[in-house]
Amino acid sequence: MPAAKPRTMPGVLELLPLDQVAFQGMLDTIRRNFERYGFLPVETPAMEFTDVLLTKSGGETERQVYFVQSTGSLEQGERPELALRFDLTVPLARYVAEHERELSFPFRRYQIQRVYRGERAQRGRFREFYQCDIDVIGKDHLSVRYDAELPAVIHSVFRELAIGPFTIQLNNRKLIRGCFEGLGIADPARQMAVLREVDKLDKRGAGAVRDTLTGTDYGIEPATVERIMRFVETRSRSHAQALEQLAALDSGSELQRQGVAELREVLTLVRAFGVPETAYALNLSIARGLDYYTGTVYETTLDDHPQVGSICSGGRYENLAGQYTSSHLPGVGISIGATRLYWQLREAGLIRTADSTVQALVTQMDEAELPRYLELATMLRNAGIATEVQLEPRKLARQFQYADRAGIRFVLVLGSDEIAKGTVTVKDLRKQDQYEVRREELAKALRVEIEQAVVMGAGTR
Amino acid sequence: MPAAKPRTMPGVLELLPLDQVAFQGMLDTIRRNFERYGFLPVETPAMEFTDVLLTKSGGETERQVYFVQSTGSLEQGERPELALRFDLTVPLARYVAEHERELSFPFRRYQIQRVYRGERAQRGRFREFYQCDIDVIGKDHLSVRYDAELPAVIHSVFRELAIGPFTIQLNNRKLIRGCFEGLGIADPARQMAVLREVDKLDKRGAGAVRDTLTGTDYGIEPATVERIMRFVETRSRSHAQALEQLAALDSGSELQRQGVAELREVLTLVRAFGVPETAYALNLSIARGLDYYTGTVYETTLDDHPQVGSICSGGRYENLAGQYTSSHLPGVGISIGATRLYWQLREAGLIRTADSTVQALVTQMDEAELPRYLELATMLRNAGIATEVQLEPRKLARQFQYADRAGIRFVLVLGSDEIAKGTVTVKDLRKQDQYEVRREELAKALRVEIEQAVVMGAGTR
């Protein structure tokens, strides 16, 4: 009698094998591009001490933390000492502060791991999900040039993921804050509140935001709101236009002019990094919710699927790890929420189930010839072709059916005819094609077919 | 003022970036070989419902579970509903039972994820560690031939990891149990107890085991103990010898003869799978602690480092998921504890810190030429070479020092001379070599060097 119903908790995305292949392919692409741009891997434990994890956060984040206790600690009614990480930024801060003397700066790290949030169960909200982060951390100082490198990485990742045209939207918090100060909104808390409203522009629409800002909560003069709106509605359609729009804003406070100068340098270098101008734009409404961004901020959206929202966000911060060290560690980073991205792309029909990682199945015609089948498989595996062998006797039709259902492309038949001739019959289930090749040429023939599929973007590698 | 001391919990292995590169290289090798043998990826959530996770286990395992609670649940004083997985076998059983109708059988899955155990803090004991598992699960039936496939995968993994000669040791629980029955030890609980003592043979030595078995706890006749000892001390030194030793045991109970027949088939096929006979052996003392193994059992040891213990273990079980489903799901699997393995290899001096994943650093000679440096980097990245660019001005000597410390092999210099000639100066820090190449031939030249390093087993890819 089964003792428990097999089930997973709500809010996790557990995938069937071929979907996992597709998802893993996405993570591999992200990792490959992070490495290509010279970022180094870091992994941190899923659990951190609660006093380390919760120094800064409060409110919403703390409410969503998962606490961890061993059996003994639980039985003794102790307060939990451990909790699961809710992002990769706090662990990064702890890592850099803890290992500061052993790291080279600027420290360029990537981290691809799962994070945990006790979210209310809701469609599209995950309690466990992958984040794929890169950050560059400076010691005392970090040039704004690094702010231009991250869009180049973002472009490289999403170009290779091939999920359609996308735009990396750029802004700078100094520019927004400078502009607001110029309009008489000088109090930082009030600036943040207006920023939060403005951040909703693309979601709620201009009318709703305008009403809120002139309403009783904010009570800003309609004329001032108009100027705020004109500012935040600024979007560039080309590199030249972005520079013109910035030139028009190059006045006012020191802060505003500094924001303009930084954005100009970033835009100029983004182009020098080889990012095509169709892939990036100024968007002066981008503010990012988090308080700790201080300069450049990024969001990335799919041109044909705006409803998906930002698929990669981040920005520049002044001091990564003030809660752990007195060293001054400025940085810039971005994050891709891979689980949510995968889920949304699948919902939008932009990704399909991948072909299997298994590329070839060696069928079994005659049990007595099993050693030959195994030898053939070994030959293919040594040539780097992922190969499964039919080990149990089964009707040939069922072996083909299995390969088809499992998404295996090449089915190999080694019957008495083929053995006599020194050949193998290849059935290509994708091309619906069949041919015979000499045994010693088989691996090469399959490699050619597999490489072609990669070039055409149809294969898993 | 820092609010908290940055630190990690005891019992986790957090690595510096270049060590992480080495560890990641190990995981990549394991994964590549799992895929090459036709295993499909599966990932499961770190958390499971406690009633699902703890159906079977008891005693030691349950004492070591980490329970998880959200803030709300904790505040309301509820019993935890969730816990972190302590292995990948229970989640596999739950996964197969939950998705049974959507999977193709035999189901061949690999899973490389972290597991959690509330172990007592102790050197070499980890509370969070990677397991790398493969299992083949049949529906109703699974041929013993699959038991022969797993040693082929183990051989492929450890050959490529290149950590020295190793031996996959094979035994069969039916053979041991049959032999014990023949010696009058028929009670299953008593068999298990003797097996547990025998399992300590390589650790405690023959004398200590003999004393325990003839002592008051067991009270077995010295003559019988001698026969047990002669049996469990059986080790083969060649394929032919293994078959001879089995032939000598092919008598006695039905169970014993069945064990001999299975082991003979497995050994014969392991050889047909292309595993050299130096890499496997009969070892009739191998029993594996866990009760659920029913047939073939494996352990793998490093010939030159026996103190490391088994680096890959597993076996055949009769029914994977009886606690969740009435379907009969026999299987065979192995597990590599990668974190512990990495730690032990490092302790034994068998692995060194890897070269960086960053392969080239484009230096900065003249700030005004930054766009050229970026263009060069883009060219290299498009050719698949992981490249970092020096973005901030810095003395050239310090740029070289940085590359050296960071383990970056190629340092590229593009001074006014090189720009005028259309060349790049390459400094190969590994070979202590320097040369000039034409700009358009740079990527190819570096690729050749990198591929050579891979062939010679010295590089990370």
Percent with pLDDT over 90 in chain A: 74
The stretch B29-37 carries a mean pLDDT of 97
What CA–CA distance (Å, rounded) separates A46 from A43? 9
Nearest to residue B37, comparing CAs of A444, A414, A428, A374? A374
Interface test with A, best of B12, B48, B69, B373 (most A CBs within 10 A): B69
Strand stretches in B303-422, DSSP E: 312-317, 331-337, 360-362, 387-389, 410-413
Q: What are the helix (H) ranges across A114-172?
A: 145-161
* Of A89-103, A174-188, B58-72, the least confident: B58-72
Of B65, B84, B392, nearest to A143 by CB-CB distance is: B392
Of A2, A37, A104, nearest to B405 by CB-CB distance is: A104
CB contact under 8 A, B48 and A116: no
Query: For chain B, what is the mean pLDDT?
Result: 92
The predicted pLDDT at position B456 comes to 55
Q: Quick one: tokens of A34?
A: 């992070």
Query: Quick one: CA dihedral B301, B304, B308, B311, positive or negative?
Result: negative
CB contact under 8 A, B392 and A102: no
Of B2, B38, B386, nearest to A38 by CB-CB distance is: B386
What CA–CA distance (Å, rounded) separates A112 from B30? 18
Is A80 in the B-facing interface, judged by CB distances under 8 Å?
A: yes
Question: For the purposes of burial, counting CB atoms within 10 Å of the CB of A406, is it exposed (0-12), middle (13-18) or buried (19 or more)?
Answer: buried
List the domains of chain B with CATH numbers: 11-164+304-354 (3.30.930.10), 171-281 (no CATH), 360-455 (3.40.50.800)
Nearest to residue B175, comparing CAs of B283, B258, B290, B270? B258
CB contact under 8 A, A66 and B69: yes
Instruction: Return the amino acid letter for B149.
Output: E
On the question of pLDDT at B423 being above 80, the answer is yes
On the question of pLDDT at A461 being above 60, the answer is no
CB contact under 8 A, A386 and B48: no
Q: CB under 8 Å to B123, separation ≥6 — which residues?
A: none
Is A20 in the B-facing interface, judged by CB distances under 8 Å?
A: yes
Q: CB under 8 Å to A58, separation ≥6 — which residues?
A: none
Q: Quick one: tokens of A231?
A: 């500012």
CB contact under 8 A, A8 and B385: no
What CA–CA distance (Å, rounded) separates B333 from B297? 9
What CA–CA distance (Å, rounded) separates B20 from A86? 22
Whether B23 and A3 have beta carbons less than 8 Å apart is answered as no
Residue A65 sits at the vertex; the CA angle it makes with A64 and A67, to the nearest 5 degrees, is: 145
Whether A193 and A267 have beta carbons less than 8 Å apart is answered as no
The predicted pLDDT at position B58 comes to 59
Query: For chain A, what is the mean pLDDT?
Result: 92
End-to-end CA distance of chain A: 44
What CA–CA distance (Å, rounded) separates B311 from B337? 7
Q: Quick one: tokens of A458?
A: 């149809």
Quick check: helix, strand or coil at residue A126?
coil
Percent with pLDDT over 90 in chain B: 75
The stretch B431-438 carries a mean pLDDT of 95
Nearest to residue A11, comparing CAs of B314, B45, B404, B436? B45
Q: Over the Cα atoms of chain A, what is R_g?
A: 27
Nearest to residue B227, comparing CAs of B249, B202, B243? B249
The predicted pLDDT at position A350 comes to 83
Is A198 in the B-facing interface, judged by CB distances under 8 Å?
A: no
Locate the chain A residue with the closest alpha carbon to B141.
A392
Strand stretches in A138-267, DSSP E: 166-172
Least Cα separation, residue B315 to chain A (angstroms): 18
Residue A49: its chain B contacts at CB < 8 A?
7-9
On the question of pLDDT at B349 being above 70, the answer is yes
On the question of pLDDT at A428 being above 80, the answer is yes
CB contact under 8 A, B6 and A114: no
CB contact under 8 A, B40 and A108: no
Chain segment A51-65, per-residue pLDDT in tens: 999 986 556 677 789
On the question of pLDDT at B459 being above 70, the answer is no
Indicate the pairing of strand B66-70 with strand B82-84. Answer: antiparallel
Q: CB under 8 Å to A143, separation ≥6 — which residues?
A: B391, B392
Residue A402: its chain B contacts at CB < 8 A?
104
The predicted pLDDT at position B265 comes to 97
The stretch B426-448 carries a mean pLDDT of 95
CB contact under 8 A, A128 and B102: no
CA dist list (Å): A263 to A198, A274, A402, B112, B456: 19, 17, 56, 42, 47
Q: What are phi and psi of B324, to 5 degrees?
A: -120, -20
Nearest to residue A160, comparing CAs of A54, A46, A331, A35? A35
Is B70 in the A-facing interface, judged by CB distances under 8 Å?
A: yes
Residue located via tokens 């557990």: A14
Q: Quick one: tokens of A306?
A: 């705006």
Least Cα separation, residue B35 to chain A (angstroms): 6
Of B104, B114, B388, nearest to A38 by CB-CB distance is: B388
Residue B72: its chain A contacts at CB < 8 A?
63, 118
| A429 alpha carbon, distance to own chain's centre | 32
Nearest to residue B300, comparing CAs of B275, B269, B317, B319? B275
Strands in A47-49's sheet, in edge-to-edge order, are A47-49, A82-84, A66-70, B66-70, B82-84, B47-49
Whether B279 and B166 have beta carbons less than 8 Å apart is answered as yes
Question: For the purposes of burial, counting CB atoms within 10 Å of the CB of A218, is it exposed (0-12), middle (13-18) or buried (19 or more)?
Answer: middle
Of A63, A358, A381, nearest to B71 by CB-CB distance is: A63
Is A74 in the B-facing interface, judged by CB distances under 8 Å?
A: yes
Least Cα separation, residue A84 to chain B (angstroms): 9
Neighbours of A455 (CB within 10 A): 8
Is A247 in the B-facing interface, judged by CB distances under 8 Å?
A: no
List, as ranges, residues 206-235 from B with C-beta within 8 Å of A. none
The stretch B259-268 carries a mean pLDDT of 97
Res. B289 pLDDT band, cuts 50 70 90 = low
Per the DSSP assignment, residues forming a β-bridge with A423 are A438
CB pairs A-B closer than 8 Å: 292
The predicted pLDDT at position B188 comes to 77
The predicted pLDDT at position B57 comes to 56
> Which DSSP string do the residues of B14-39 spell out, in sequence order?
---HHHHHHHHHHHHHHHHHHHHTTP
The predicted pLDDT at position A433 comes to 94
Q: What are the helix (H) ranges across A120-253?
A: 145-161, 173-182, 188-198, 201-204, 206-214, 222-232, 239-248
Q: Quick one: tokens of B70?
A: 């959200």
Omega cis (within 30) before A91 = no
List, as ranges, residues 128-147 from B with C-beta within 8 Å of A. 128, 142-143, 145-146
Whether B153 and B273 have beta carbons less than 8 Å apart is answered as no
CB contact under 8 A, A326 and B108: no
Interface test with B, best of A1, A9, A81 (most B CBs within 10 A): A9
* Of A254-258, B165-169, B306-310, the least confident: B306-310
The predicted pLDDT at position B290 comes to 58
Q: Quick one: tokens of A315?
A: 């920005």
Residue B361: its chain A contacts at CB < 8 A?
38
Nearest to residue A383, comparing CAs of A459, A433, A449? A449
CA dist list (Å): A93 to A289, A327, A334, B366: 19, 11, 14, 33
* Of A79-93, B19-33, B145-159, B195-209, the least confident: B195-209
Q: What are the helix (H) ranges across A37-144?
A: 50-53, 59-63, 71-75, 89-99
The predicted pLDDT at position A294 comes to 92
Residue B35: its chain A contacts at CB < 8 A?
357-358, 386
Chain segment A349-405, per-residue pLDDT in tens: 888 767 789 999 999 999 999 999 999 999 999 999 999 999 999 999 999 999 998
Nearest to residue A67, comparing CAs of B76, B87, B57, B54? B76
The predicted pLDDT at position B458 comes to 44
Question: For the purposes of burial, counting CB atoms within 10 Å of the CB of A61, is it exposed (0-12), middle (13-18) or buried (19 or more)?
Answer: middle
CB contact under 8 A, A6 and B82: no
Instruction: Return the amino acid letter for A186.
Output: A
Chain segment A233-261, per-residue pLDDT in tens: 899 999 999 999 999 999 888 999 999 99
CB contact under 8 A, B95 and A14: yes
Chain segment A114-127, per-residue pLDDT in tens: 999 988 878 888 99
The predicted pLDDT at position B460 comes to 41
Least Cα separation, residue B448 to chain A (angstroms): 17
On the question of pLDDT at B32 being above 80, the answer is yes
Residue located via tokens 């049949």: B138
Whether B273 and B297 have beta carbons less than 8 Å apart is answered as no
Quick check: helix, strand or coil at residue B406?
helix
Strand stretches in B246-327, DSSP E: 280-282, 293-302, 312-317
Residue located via tokens 């590599």: B336
The predicted pLDDT at position A459 comes to 41
The predicted pLDDT at position B191 comes to 84
Nearest to residue A242, comparing CAs of A152, A158, A171, A332? A171
CB contact under 8 A, A269 and B370: yes
Of B74, B142, B323, nearest to A67 by CB-CB distance is: B74
Residue located via tokens 């919403």: A60
Indicate the pairing of strand B387-389 with strand B360-362. Answer: parallel
CB contact under 8 A, B273 and A324: no
| B116 alpha carbon, distance to own chain's centre | 16
What CA–CA distance (Å, rounded) separates B289 from B95? 24
pTM of the model: 0.94
CB contact under 8 A, B41 and A63: no
CB contact under 8 A, A20 and B43: yes
Instruction: Return the amino acid letter for B30.
Output: I
Omega cis (within 30) before B106 = yes
Of A44, A84, A384, nearest to B14 by CB-CB distance is: A44
Instruction: Return the amino acid letter for B450.
Output: I
CB contact under 8 A, B55 and A97: no
Is A159 in the B-facing interface, judged by CB distances under 8 Å?
A: no
Strand stretches in B187-264, DSSP E: none
Q: Quick one: tokens of A417?
A: 């005819």
Residue A94: its chain B contacts at CB < 8 A?
6-8
Neighbours of A253 (CB within 10 A): 16
Interface test with B, best of A116, A357, A363, A380 (most B CBs within 10 A): A357
Indicate the pairing of strand A280-282 with strand A293-302. Answer: unpaired
Res. A295 pLDDT band, cuts 50 70 90 = very high
